[in-house]
Amino acid sequence: MEKPVSINNIYNNKYIPNDYFQVKVIDWKLSSPHIKPDILFCDVGGSAGTDDFLYVKAGAKCVCLDVDPNVLRDGKRKAKQEDIKDNIEHVRGSANHLPFKSQIFDLVTSYSVIDHLPNKKAAYEAICEMSRIAKREGHVVITVPNKLFVMGTLMMAAKMLLQPDAFFEQRFTSKEMMRQCSKAGLQTTRYGSKYPLKIGQSILKHNAPQFLQGLPRSLMRSVCLLAEGAFTIAERDLNLRLLGARFGLDSIKTA
């Protein structure tokens, strides 16, 4: 039996900012057990596809889909540099209308993508599309921002109110996601959530309102250290851990 990809190796990905590793661990933790040589998987909304490089290097074959041609070109360039271009294909397309035949992928992943679609209806349509292209008994792994992560939800609401043109994000609860996955023929087998245990400039840039980013650096760092300490304690409690910043579902296609 082939060994799954070790999650410890995610830290070899030089293309992802260090502070994002802490919340993105849930992406890899849910997906990595399904990565084996020669499986075919699709990363929906995968941007340049750099999340997938570790899996491709482990022998998996990937189709990375995104709507932005610029990030796809960047992904092709990076894949060539990493000498994996033959096993990863970059395709332009929409999560709501995936340009693939039904039941062809062993695994479908989508990391914090459907939260950027225009509304919940579009997000649930994307889940149905991901289910459609997955093989029967194949897996679909979806991660999203957690609506129950109060600090992040309030900060993002403030950011969208004060900077409506800068960012859009909708948030979900685990119950509504499980319900929609079930409607799409997906049975959730695993669930996970993660706090940001390191808060750096990348997380602040994408999640904090601009006026907070303008606070004195020493004050901002003190606030971040307090938050990191509180999140580290919360990670030790199973009940509190489920309220983390990002959560994900690993579901198997049953219909």
What pLDDT sits at residue 1?
38
Question: What does pTM read for this prediction?
Answer: 0.92
* Torsional class of 146: left (φ above 0), alpha (ψ -120 to 50), beta (otherwise): beta
Residue ranges covered by each domain of the chain: 7-146+170-195+242-253
What pLDDT sits at residue 12?
57
Per-residue confidence of the chain (255 residues) as pLDDT tens digits?
Answer: 345 555 555 555 677 777 777 888 899 999 999 999 989 999 999 999 988 998 999 899 999 999 999 999 999 999 999 999 999 999 999 999 999 999 999 999 999 999 999 999 999 999 999 999 999 999 999 999 999 999 999 989 988 888 888 778 999 999 999 999 999 999 999 999 999 998 988 888 888 888 787 788 888 889 999 999 999 999 999 889 889 999 999 999 997
Please name the residues in contact with 104: beta carbons below 8 A apart, sequence gap of 6 or more. Answer: 40, 133, 135
CATH number of 7-146+170-195+242-253: 3.40.50.150
